[in-house]
Structure 1
């Protein structure tokens, strides 16, 4: 009898899996045929969705009962796909450039950094509530030009309202995996220290915090920002024909400081940030400062932040965050070693009325996923709306087969 029950259970599970329709493929520019990274693929009028990777590749497991899927990117016309017409095979989606998306310069009497400060403040207030983010997270660690570690997982972030501008979050790791891509003998030892066991500069406990605090951007919107930066404000149309405004951030050449460069796109009607794309200015990296730690000194030679949001049906929703940090480490008299950490966080679902919290025994308190190891019951990187690996990332992970 027990075997019969197990058999029936397996059939039910198989049937449930079979009913899940996979929408996958690649998104390209119709004119140039170049891939379009970070495109939103989501259920129409819903918070559920995924984003395409840097090669424009996506994979979305469509929930039951859904009628339409939207595919949209700022600067392109949105396409709607009726679920009943979607076939279980990869497709190439060609997005057309929106001619109305051409940018026009805006002249304003208010200093642009003050305008940005107001937009950031309102965006923070929109997210100052109990929120649950269902996410897929992954990170690579690279030491002295050799990829050393990789981890990923399906993680729920429970975010509490801010107290004194600090975000409090609790994590529940549903599934995870972690790999050592290179051993100590494979990593070039340029300095005196063995960095092969170093995990990551990132703290996974704070992986979602940037969505709510706008780190690295606050200083650009400060009262003294005009001393370091030049700003330009432009308007454009999004994929729905709505007017957006873009703040271009340019560091002044004469300022001898490590400064950021990039742009911030926001919705001028709802006054919320939609896209942050900033990095350290190449011309100002020469001014990075060395920081003293307990047993070493280090200098941050690059920071890159790509962060996107959606505003749907009155909801302000975090969507995707990519972080890259490049650190040069000094043991002794010279900057010998280099550590690069890359992380991706994709929000697959969002609840801004999270009344429940994870059970105490399920709260993950470690700094990274490596301590959780290989802890999964299914290939979640293929079946849980994970961000597909790019071709380059796939090549990196192929090294696992020989280990």
Structure 2
């Protein structure tokens, strides 16, 4: 009898361990609409790895042993699940929205722009440096309706310096690129300039338009509370008059007690589209889409960039034709360390983009990259790889 019990326990224990090991898949959905949730952060406490849900709400990652898994999103109530509960091939987790149009408008003695300047200054000082970010980047390039170029890469960013003098060294572990870029397309539209990208994110450069002295005349600033998180406030900044220029709507979510920014998003204001005039001169650009979002993480004493997403679409006016260009970029920090790592100066990547770098593929790094490709994206990549 004892042998039977021991054998049963051994088999049960082995099954439990195997169930907790290997590839895990989660699909995040809105509890009310059943729609997928994009840009949710999934943090595995055991391995301290970070993942981001894609536009289908999917997240895939590898896990050895059991761990708590935190799921957070600025628009939803966060949850923590045990990896042992993820036993299905596709595990669906429903999140409840915390968005409330009736959230209290906060009246402040200081103008919200001055509060924003304080937030930026304090956030810059609080960001953890020196630090190492292991980052997965992905870029899609579309010209005249056809995807013509793709690249992705797994990189280590060693951050050093301080305040407004942040610097970074980049070591590329693996990378790949497919497709061709038209010779007429200059490198400035290929997306990320890897040499200054961290400086921009760690200095909040994308907020410059609403930090200028005359921005108070061009934009409305409103601060609201968060019903489900009393520590957070949201600042909404919208243009009041575009003067024929394209201007963005901004949303800044911040911790009002720690006075640091946790998320920034922006998109071209519909008011701008309504009032801007189409450019016709050769070499000019008519932008029709511009989306930007960054997420930062507060973890004990550490504060660092988790992810960014940028999309831009524009029509370029040429002498005898118009060229439509769209670029979509993703940037995900898969792991963070506040320690330096050793490397030689000759190993530092010094080009602006991965465009001209020879492919170095040692593993299927994109499958555990922190950002699972959607079915559509996988088909795009396979199609361009076949053209090589």
User: Can you list the C-alpha shifts for 1:243-272, whole angstroms capped at 9, x where unaligned?
Assistant: 311111110136333211131111101111
Structure-to-structure mapping, 1:258-337, within 5 angstroms: 258-285=246-273, 287=276, 297-299=283-285, 301=287, 302-332=289-319, 336-337=322-323
Q: CA–CA distance in 1 between the matches of 2:283 and 2:65?
A: 55
2:118 counterpart SS class? helix
User: What's the CA shift for 1:46?
Assistant: 7.4
Question: Equivalent residue for 2:373?
Answer: 389
Q: CA–CA distance in 1 between the matches of 2:350 and 2:263?
A: 30
Q: Flag the 1:255–1:90 CA change in 2: closer, same or farther, 3 A.
A: same
Q: CA–CA distance in 1 between the matches of 2:195 and 2:334?
A: 18
Task: Tell me the number of residue pairs that the alignment of Structure 1 and Structure 2 aligns.
Answer: 368
Structure-to-structure mapping, 1:108-257, within 5 angstroms: 108-127=108-127, 129-162=129-162, 165-180=164-179, 194-195=184-185, 200-238=190-228, 241-253=229-241, 255-257=243-245
Q: Flag the 1:212–1:197 CA change in 2: closer, same or farther, 3 A.
A: closer
Q: Is the 8 A contact 1:136 1:348 kept in 2?
A: yes
Q: CA–CA distance in 1 between the matches of 2:66 and 2:280?
A: 52
335, 360, 380: which one aligns with 1:349: 335
1:106 counterpart SS class? coil
Q: Is the 8 A contact 2:176 2:361 kept in 1?
A: yes
Q: Flag the 1:235–1:49 CA change in 2: closer, same or farther, 3 A.
A: same
Q: Flag the 1:207–1:183 CA change in 2: closer, same or farther, 3 A.
A: closer
User: What's the CA shift for 1:401?
Assistant: 6.0
Q: Is the 8 A contact 2:254 2:262 kept in 1?
A: yes
Q: CA–CA distance in 2 between the matches of 1:31 and 1:282?
A: 27
Q: Is the 8 A contact 1:114 1:223 kept in 2?
A: no
Q: CA–CA distance in 2 between the matches of 1:156 and 1:148?
A: 27
Q: CA–CA distance in 2 between the matches of 1:361 and 1:306?
A: 33
User: Can you list the C-alpha shifts for 1:255-294, whole angstroms capped at 9, x where unaligned?
Assistant: 33321113111110111111111022243256489799xx
Q: CA–CA distance in 2 between the matches of 1:330 and 1:99?
A: 41
Across the aligned residues of Structure 1 and Structure 2, the Cα RMSD in angstroms comes to 3.1
Q: Is the 8 A contact 1:156 1:172 kept in 2?
A: yes
Further displaced range: 140-149 or 263-272: 140-149
User: Can you list the C-alpha shifts for 1:326-367, whole angstroms capped at 9, x where unaligned?
Assistant: 3433333x7722322211000111123x33353222211122
Question: Equivalent residue for 1:358?
Answer: 343
Structure-to-structure mapping, 1:24-43, within 5 angstroms: 24-43=25-44
Q: TM-score, normalised by structure 2?
A: 0.84
Q: CA–CA distance in 2 between the matches of 1:355 and 1:401?
A: 36
Structure-to-structure mapping, 1:81-100, within 5 angstroms: 81-87=81-87, 89-98=89-98
User: What's the CA shift for 1:20?
Assistant: 5.2
User: What's the CA shift for 1:111?
Assistant: 0.7
2:54 counterpart SS class? coil
324, 327, 344: which one aligns with 1:338: 324
Q: Flag the 1:199–1:20 CA change in 2: closer, same or farther, 3 A.
A: farther
Q: CA–CA distance in 2 between the matches of 1:166 and 1:135?
A: 21
Flag structure 2 segments of 5+ consecutive residues without an equivalent.
1-17
Question: Equivalent residue for 1:105?
Answer: 105
User: Can you list the C-alpha shifts for 1:214-235, whole angstroms capped at 9, x where unaligned?
Assistant: 1221221232211110111100
Flag structure 1 segments of 5+ consecutive residues without an equivalent.
1-16, 185-192
Q: Is the 8 A contact 1:245 1:266 kept in 2?
A: yes
